[in-house]
A and B are shown apart, each in its own frame.
Chain A
Amino acid sequence: MEKVLMKGNEALAEAAIRAGCKCFFGYPITPQTELSEYLSKQMPKRGGVFLQAESEVAAINMVLGAAATGTRVMTSSSSPGVSLKSEGISYIAGSDVPAVIINVQRGGPGLGGIQPSQADYWQATKGLGHGDFHLIVLAPSSVQEVVDLVSRAFDLGDQYRVPVMLLSDGLLGQMMEPVSFPEITAKEVDKSDWAANGTKMARKHHIVNSLYIEANDLEDIVKERYARYAVIEAEESDAEAYQTEDADIVVVAYGATSRVVKSAVNKARAEGIKVGMLRPITLWPFPKKQLCAACENAKAVLTVEMSMGQMVDDVKLALECKKPVSFFGRTGGVIPTPAEVYAEIVKLNGGAK
């Protein structure tokens, strides 16, 4: 298949169009802006809608409106902008409409910085708005995987009627890599039983809503949603295991960080240290089974993140504290180096082989 050299953000935008995204609503913010710019050029030529909203808040509510009609829709932002979107994301989840939300993470908190970061893990997996709900969170680690996961994000959203976040970062967004665009057949999902797209005087009106004034009604609705979440946890969790079969040490890392970790693992392996890597591809649902399997014979587990340590909580929970879990991270936009991660691996190994 033909490969082209593309920036992560632009490849993501192209992949979204190919996945059948018909509407994009966004607001400029570094380091995701190329994504919007690409769509502003391409959407009008390819039968789609591009609209720059007056704010992130408005953009996510435009997403809610378009999603309610059963249209494939996406928005993208970076960390501070995603915080603004959290209100709308909660309503989208509470209204059971599918939508894809991109976060090209940068350093925080506050205005933070514009360099790559993974400090929004907690926000994405645990706290993207008020109320009992989850998003499916997908974490690519290469420009090619960005492309591959975009269509999966749309399909999963449609299938389960949930918002899906693609958690990218400034590194994946800004770097260029060769990428191919496989033929995509978007999953056909029938939305005729809920979409608010006109009754045609042929059915009862559809109401897209998250308000249930009776406590018992609201509890029932939330429980129904959690039954769907249970299916998602059982069916959709995903991870890549790299050289974990005989590993004494397992390093857990996702996204761009996993690229750094892989280099360190290769270097340590070359020196005879039995080390492997487990890379979560779905952050929610967290790949507990895959992690436990990878760590079955491990003596030590190391989590590496571009944050002060957020995913490490899920690693400990999944392993039920049966294995010693340590953490190494850089934050604020600093990218850990292979040498730093290698040094941590050597430390856990009790010195070089």
Chain B
Amino acid sequence: MAVVFERPHALCDVRLHYCAGCTHGIIHRLVCEVIDEMGIEGETVGVCPVGCSVFAYNYFNCDMIEAPHGRAPAVATGVKRARPDLNVFTYQGDGDLAAIGTAETVHAATRGENIVVIFVNNTTYGMTGGQMAPTTLPGQVTTTTPYGRDPKANGYPIRVCEMLSTLTGTAYAVRTAVDTVPHIRETKKAIRKAFENQKAGKGFSIVEVLSTCPSNWGMTPKESIKRLQEECMPYYPLGVYKDIDAEGGETK
């Protein structure tokens, strides 16, 4: 009988700790499908962050390194510079990447560091219980913005892909989502392209995936998807922000 669906080899056969309705599981799977399809698991090293995906080292079958909070791009740089033959990716959340790790992210990009960054943006600090993130939307209630994020006091959310697309060293910056089947397929294509870029030595590739956090948003999974589409996507438009392969390598 033909096998039509199976667990990617690169995804460990363990139970993930993510909450019901969270999209980390889908994104893990997409990364692993790409690793399988490219046949690179044995020559790949992943770097996990501090945050919800802190235990990702137990979920990916390739060699894994746990980085301090925000430092994954620096750790990945160390791996890649020491061993350019390895494929290196980081898997980071928005607090990790866009607050405490801003310097490491921006400088890995501007160096054109030949790595892949998978950036999961759910507009909150999930693991610590739903505090304001650098990506939290204006008005969004979190445990540290109990009256809603007030830009006058807390500033404005950072649009990471837009920011990184201005850097010459960035090869590819794309924002996707996994709220619908077509979007899931686009996300996988983007992840594949990012890994192919690394193989071809093109430089820094970042795939930002808009994600949900039903637990900390205080919503059902269905309501979370609705919020993602109605509130997050307008602030964080999906699309390719930079692609050096596109005509002229123009930014969006």
Contact = CB atoms under 8 A, between A and B. Distances in A.
Chains A and B come from one and the same complex: yes
A73 B78 contact: yes
B252 to A, nearest CB: 26
A4 B33 CA distance: 57
B65 interface: yes
Given A68-B65, A198-B86, A51 B81 contact: yes
Given A54-B107, A61-B104, A202-B42, A196 B79 contact: yes
Contacts of B57: 207, 209
Contacts of A91: 67-68
A211 interface: yes
B198 to A, nearest CB: 14
B74 to A, nearest CB: 4
Interface stretch (B43-51, B157-165, B177-185): B43-51
A65 B82 contact: yes
A256 to B, nearest CB: 32
A57 B104 CA distance: 9
Interface residues of A, number: 40
Contact of A198 (B47, B63, B107): B63
A43 to B, nearest CB: 11
Contact of B68 (A51, A61, A197, A202): A61
B28 to A, nearest CB: 14
B75 interface: yes
Contacts of A67: 78
Dominant secondary structure of chain B at its interface with chain A: helix
Contacts of B79: 65-66, 68-69, 196
Interface in A1-48: 22-23, 25
Contacts, number: 139
A248 interface: no
B50 to A, nearest CB: 9
Contacts of B41: 199, 201
B78 A64 contact: yes
Contact of A201 (B42, B74, B103): B42
Contact of A61 (B44, B74, B81): B74
Given A199-B41, A200-B43, A49 B67 contact: no
B170 interface: no
Contact of B74 (A58, A68, A209): A58
A49 B84 CA distance: 11
A159 interface: no
A69 B82 contact: yes
Interface in B208-247: none
B67 A199 contact: no
A59 B74 CA distance: 7
B66 A66 contact: no
A53 interface: yes
22 contacts: A49-B81, A51-B77, A54-B104, A54-B107, A58-B77, A61-B71, A61-B104, A64-B68, A65-B75, A91-B68, A196-B45, A196-B63, A196-B64, A197-B63, A197-B86, A198-B43, A199-B62, A200-B42, A206-B63, A207-B58, A207-B65, A207-B66
Interface of B: 41-45, 47, 54-55, 57-58, 60-68, 71, 74-83, 85-86, 103-104, 106-107
